[in-house]
Amino acid sequence: MTMKPVSFPIVIVAVAAIVSGCAVADKTQDIAVLAEQAFKDSFKPGPGQDLSRLEQDETQRDCSIARANPSEALAKAIMARESRNMAYPEGAKLFGDWKAGAKIFDDGFAYRIGSFIPNKPDAVRGGNCYACHQGEAKEAAFGNQGPSLLHYGKLRGQSDAIVKYTYEKIYNARAFNACSAMPRLGHNKILSPKQVADLTAFLVSPESPLNK
């Protein structure tokens, strides 16, 4: 077997490219390790602290490294994983009470901890949805981090498919958008399945002021 001789400068360039590529990769790896250590060293146990909240799950880890912009393959894997992180209310009643949902939409959800200004641990949590989404027309102080939900049901109808999608999107947004900015409200136990069903009704129901 004969090999075509490769000219010396090309070999040097190739080796240099490989070495520098490795050096960059190693450095990124080092920084990730150092960042984890720095993070760990930045929280202390004590009254009002819950250090279990500092543990990332696999999806948070993936989305952190991807800076919320995953490759198509990674996004698929995350969405497949998160679609299994789904739970439903008793009797699979995904369409709840829109009046209760209206309140949940506006209620701040608290859940803050620590020793300075913690919220009451047993307080019923809301969704604080209007902090990021426009809801019914009369609420002016809405945020725009997420899309407007005004006329959500009016635009989409009330089919079973829409109800199911809406419930699941609120329960676990990352089943549909891998590194969504929207918290996994149901999966992360901020809202109960019943509350998610109530929000679903508030968004979808023709009687809801959101669709007027």
Partner 1 sequence: MNRQTCIALACGLTLITGGANAQKADPAVAAYRAALADKDGNPGLLIIDKGEILFKAVNGPKKVSLEKCDFGLGPGILKGAYAQMPRYMADTNRVEDLETRLLHCMVTLQGRNPDQVKAKRFANETRNESNTEWEMIVSYVAAQSDGMRLSMRQSHPKEREAIAIGEALFYKQVGPMDFACATCHTATDKRIRLQALFNANDKGQAESVMGAWPTYRVSHNAMRTMQHRMWDCHWQMRLPDIDMASPGTVALISYLTKQGDGTKLDLPGMRR
Name the token pair of 40.
């760990």
Residue appearing with tokens 């590529």: 21
**Distance in Å, CB of 129 to partner 1, minimum:** 11
By the rule CB under 8 A, 113 interacts with partner 1: yes
By the rule CB under 8 A, 112 interacts with partner 1: yes
**Distance in Å, CB of 159 to partner 1, minimum:** 29
- Identify which of 80, 83, 79, 210 has the alpha carbon closest to the alpha carbon of residue 150: 210
Segment interacting with partner 1 (CB under 8 A) among 10-18, 46-54, 95-103, 154-162: 46-54
**Distance in Å, CB of 164 to partner 1, minimum:** 22
- Identify which of 97, 49, 89, 117 has the alpha carbon closest to the alpha carbon of residue 191: 89
Q: How far is it between the farthest Cα atoms of the chain? A: 81
Count of other CB atoms within 10 angstroms of residue 72: 8
By the rule CB under 8 A, 150 interacts with partner 1: no
Tally the residues of the chain: 212
Cα angle: 120, vertex 124, 127; to 5 degrees:
110
Nearest residue (CB) to partner 1, 86 versus 162? 86
- Binding site residues, partner 1, CB under 8 A: 31-32, 34-35, 37-39, 41-44, 48-51, 53-54, 56, 59-60, 63-64, 67-68, 111-117, 130-132, 141-145, 174, 179-184, 188-190
